[in-house]
């Protein structure tokens, strides 16, 4: 249980990041449904681009949230989940980016998870096997 408390900050930060990315993607997608008269102005190409961008954001947000929860549930695989958070946070910038702060928080929490247990001099701490 003590390992879970050590990884709690990275887990919580990534869940917040995932919620921001997911909410930004859903709001971006709902823009077309709230203003259907704007499609004639955007054209079909831009309308399809909004759809693809929103889908990338929704998938990224769900994966960031899932990885953040799994850091807390399985602290022995923290580096694997941290790399997934890193990847999908970077991918979210091709989407809407979670109001930009969501992607940045995801990259920070992913890097915290990947480097967890490594001290300033590069040696592993004693709680990692």
pTM: 0.84
Which residues are CB-neighbours of 7 under 8 A, at least 6 positions away? Answer: 71, 72, 75, 78, 113, 116
CA 101/CA 91 separation, integer angstroms: 14
**Residue 119 predicted with pLDDT over 50:** no
Q: Distance between terminal CA atoms of the chain?
A: 16
Report the pLDDT averaged over residues 88-97. Answer: 90
pLDDT at 120: 47
Which phi and psi (to 5°) does residue 35 adopt?
-125, 70
66-to-33, 54, 91, 106, 121 alpha-carbon distances in Å:
27, 18, 15, 12, 31
Min mean pLDDT across 25-39, 50-64, 67-81 is at 25-39
CA 72/CA 108 separation, integer angstroms: 17
pLDDT at 107: 95
């Amino acid at each position: 249980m003590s390992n879970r408390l050590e990884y709690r900050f990275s887990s919580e930060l990534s869940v917040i990041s995932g919620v921001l990315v997911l909410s930004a993607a859903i709001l971006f997608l709902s823009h077309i449904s709230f203003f259907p008269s704007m499609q004639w102005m955007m054209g079909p190409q831009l309308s399809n681009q909004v759809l693809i961008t929103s889908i990338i954001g929704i998938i990224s947000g769900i994966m960031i949230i899932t990885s953040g929860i799994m850091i807390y549930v399985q602290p022995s695989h923290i580096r694997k989940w941290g790399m997934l958070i890193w990847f999908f946070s970077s991918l979210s910038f091709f989407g809407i980016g979670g109001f930009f702060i969501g992607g940045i928080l995801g990259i920070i929490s992913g890097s915290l998870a990947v480097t967890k247990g490594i001290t300033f001099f590069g040696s592993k701490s004693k709680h990692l096997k």
